Amino acid sequence: MKYKAVIFDLDGVICHTDQYHFKAWRQIAQELGIAFDEEKNNRLRGVSRMQSLEIILEEYDGQLTDEKKLYYASKKNDAYVELLNDMTSKDIELDVKKTLNTLRQLGIKMAIGSSSRNAKRILSKIGYSDFFDAISDGTNITKTKPEPEVFLKASQYLSIDPKHCIVVEDAKAGVEAAIAGGMDCAAIGDAANYDMATFSINKLSDLLDILTD
């Protein structure tokens, strides 16, 4: 078997927290008098909190000090974390659960590779805090996607060479990060048609065909 490990992005692959990010960023945008919609929210996927704030501030008429930027980024995260309290195991689709269990039965190592600093909290809320063999997230990296650091750290934690890892991603920045790290990438969701991806899948269980081919 070519692949010995699968590294999953969290949001949009294992579960979906877009609605919580959207609500939290919308609160900040409204406070600053900035228009914020789903289209702009999609631009924030896979990038860091501070980078997300800079994207939102593109339409801001005033100027914020670095201190104020940190304040609003922190305020957004507080709102987001509060909203995450609504998450449960029901936020994972049955197809995802079955696929993860099958991969475990096949003996394939699994890791999370997420830019989020809240990854462990999310995994706990959905009942998967102890399921993955390794977790690489926003708390242990200095460069976010499209830099490959988060995925390279995951492969390092798994003790598996990047060339034997495949990444599952739903954001273009994540696909670019995987390829930059020397890993193949199965793109799903919004990134499914991205030509940089090694494979395109419609649902997570399609990954099984790739791994057992």
**Residue in 49, 50, 51, 25 with CA at minimum distance from that of residue 39:** 25
Catalytic residue among 9, 137, 170, 184: 9
For the question of residue 86 being annotated catalytic, the response is no
Q: What does the alpha-carbon distance between residue 68 and residue 65 come to, in Å, rounded to a whole number?
A: 5
For residue 10, what are its two tokens?
């969290």
* Helices (H), ranges, 58-168: 66-83, 94-106, 119-125, 149-158
Q: What does the alpha-carbon distance between residue 179 and residue 148 come to, in Å, rounded to a whole number?
A: 8
Q: What does the alpha-carbon distance between residue 81 and residue 122 come to, in Å, rounded to a whole number?
A: 9
Distance of CA 90 to the CA centre of its chain: 19
**Residue in 173, 204, 213 with CA at minimum distance from that of residue 191:** 173
For the question of residue 137 being annotated catalytic, the response is no
SS3 (DSSP) at 56: helix
Catalytic residue among 11, 137, 170, 184: 11
As annotated, the active-site residues are 9, 11
